[in-house]
Amino acid sequence: MPDTIPSIGFGFWKVAREDAADVAYQAIEAGYRHLDCAADYGNEVEVGQGIARAIADGLVTREELWVTSKLWNTFHAPQHVEEGCRKSMADLGLDYLDLYLVHFPIALEYVPIETRYPPEWVHDPEAAQPSMRRAKVPLHQTWAAMEGLVSAGLSRNIGVCNYNSGLLHDLMSYAEVKPHTLQVEAHPYLTQDKLVRLAKDYGLQVTAFSPLGALSYVELDMAGRSDSVLTEEVVQRAAEAHDKTPAQVVLRWGVQRGTSIIPKTSKSERMRENLDILDFELSDDEMEAISRLDRGQRFNDPGVFTESAFGTFHPIYD
Ligand SMILES: NC(=O)c1ccc[n+]([C@@H]2O[C@H](COP(=O)([O-])OP(=O)(O)OC[C@H]3O[C@@H](n4cnc5c(N)ncnc54)[C@H](OP(=O)(O)O)[C@@H]3O)[C@@H](O)[C@H]2O)c1
């Protein structure tokens, strides 16, 4: 697999464990070659089973796949970074990753794998008042251990998620192995133009998570259906003009602005729909009109969800 991340990937967050093997297999069968996984998604064993079946059936070779996984917050201490990576690799059944990302710039106290895996956010779910427990691990120490994964051949590339421009400047001041990718939330309601530009200026590739915007967050009560960008007039008009669906227009906008996208779906017809966006081009006017929908609306914000869900106020963007 070349060093360039395939522009359309498949996201595994909230793919139910019992479906994940079939979903991974179907995604590869549909044509996805870039799979976005994470320890925290709780389904890497099953995704690995789907990958193994696809390889055994001759749908794809390991080398043709780009597999990303992510270091969870409780594994930030340098002595636990390799353990986190090796656990994801073992669960996925892979002897190398294409990309390993720091999932959040949030260090939490270590939870042994035997105690709970994935460890999630709360340190002790049985406590009278469950809460997160911060660990005093500077990000530069975590990064140095991430660099060790590349020299050990465990991951071909490393990168970060959910960094803002300040953290990215800081990372670039000490990184000896350059971060390959910045993965952040990006969609027409949160275009992140300055951050995307900065990452590219530094030579990073940018992956947009939650590329469809609110849709992923409705089931978590973190967004309402009315927050969906798919019903915006400019999106619907472009969909009609190009004989595509609104989702395809929004995903095409993401790719055409130079980010890779990793939409998730558990439905096989949508897998094909979300891949089928490379045979048309949005005009400059359409691109600009969709970009003008930006309203800085972030759905995945630790400053909001950590307090309500995990009893701890832990903003990172404010
Ligand atoms: N690094 C991070 O911190 C981070 C955070 C969030 C996400 N991610 C990654 O990014 C991936 C994608 O983000 P996401 O899952 O939050 O959101 P998303 O892919 O933008 O949206 C997924 C939602 O949209 C629906 N959907 C998918 N295709 C559709 C279509 N063509 N038409 C209408 N609805 C459609 C899905 O429902 P159905 O399943 O019912 O089709 C699901 O509810 C994740 O799976 C994960 O891999 C990373």
Active site residues: 41
Residue with CA nearest ligand 1 atom 45: 11
CB 182 within 8 A of CB 206: yes
Closest Cα to atom 43, ligand 1: which residue? 216
Angle at which helices 268-275 and 17-30 pack, to 10 degrees? 40
The span from the CA of 290 to the CA of 233, in Å, is: 10
**Exposure string for 56-89, b = 16+ CB within 10 A, e = fewer:** eeeebeeeebbbbbbbbbbbbbeebbbebbebbb
Residue nearest to atom 4 of ligand 1 (CA): 209
Packing angle, helices 78-92 and 139-151, rounded to 10: 50
pLDDT given for residue 226 in this prediction? 86
Q: Which atom of ligand 1 is nearest to the CA of 219?
A: 43
Query: Which atom belonging to ligand 1 lies closest to the Cα atom of 264?
Result: 19
Residue 102 — φ and ψ, nearest 5°?
Answer: -70, 120
Tokens of 134: 């911060």
**244: Cβ–Cβ under 8 A, 6 or more apart, which residues?**
238, 252, 277, 280
37 phi/psi in degrees, rounded to 5: -120, 175
| 206, 216, 306: residue to mutate for ligand 1 pocket, most atoms within 8 A of CB | 216
pLDDT higher than threshold 70 for residue 2: no
User: What DSSP assignment string belongs to 229-257?
Assistant: GGG-HHHHHHHHHHT--HHHHHHHHHHHT
Q: Which of 174, 154, 173, 171 is nearest to 162 (CA)?
A: 171
User: For ligand 1, atom 5, which residue shows the shortest CA distance?
Assistant: 209
The first and second tokens of residue 31, run together, are 């044509």
In the numeric block, which tokens belong to residue 266?
A: 């558990």
Structure tokens belonging to residue 117: 């895996």
pLDDT band at 50 (very low <50, low <70, confident <90, very high): very high
List Cα–Cα distances, 125 to 19, 107, 112, 129, 313, in angstroms. Answer: 26, 18, 14, 8, 17
- Out of 30-39, 200-209, 223-232, 251-260, least confident range: 223-232
Site to substitute for ligand 1 among 72, 167, 190, 264, most atoms within 8 A of C-beta: 264
Contact 90, 26 (CB under 8 A): no
Whole-model pTM? 0.98
Domains, the chain: 10-310 (3.20.20.100)
Give the atom of ligand 1 at the shortest distance from the alpha carbon of 70: 1
* Average confidence (pLDDT) over 120-128: 96
Say how many Å lie between the CA of residue 109 and the centre of ligand 1.
28
DSSP-assigned letters across all residues of 74-97 = GG-SHHHHHHHHHHHHHHHT-S-B
CA of 203 to the centre of ligand 1 (A): 26
Residue 299 exposed, middle or buried by CB count within 10 Å (0-12, 13-18, 19+): buried
pLDDT tier, 1 (very low <50, low <70, confident <90, very high otherwise): low
- How far apart are the CA of 7 and the centre of ligand 1, in A? 15
Burial class (CB in 10 A: 0-12, 13-18, 19+), 150: middle
Give the confidence band of 3 by pLDDT, cuts at 50, 70, 90: confident
% residues pLDDT > 90 (the chain): 97
Atom 23 in ligand 1: residue holding the nearest Cα? 216
| Residues whose beta carbon lies within 6 Å of some atom of ligand 1 | 11-13, 36, 103, 161-162, 183, 209-212, 215-216, 247, 262-267, 270, 273-274, 300
* 295 confidence band (pLDDT: 50, 70, 90): very high
Measuring from atom 18 of ligand 1, which residue has the nearest CA?
210
CA of 133 to the centre of ligand 1 (A): 28
Strand partners, 11: 36
Q: CA nearest 36: which of 95, 85, 81, 99?
A: 99
* Best residue for ligand 1 mutational test, from 8, 215, 297 (most atoms within 8 Å of Cβ): 215
pLDDT at 109: 98
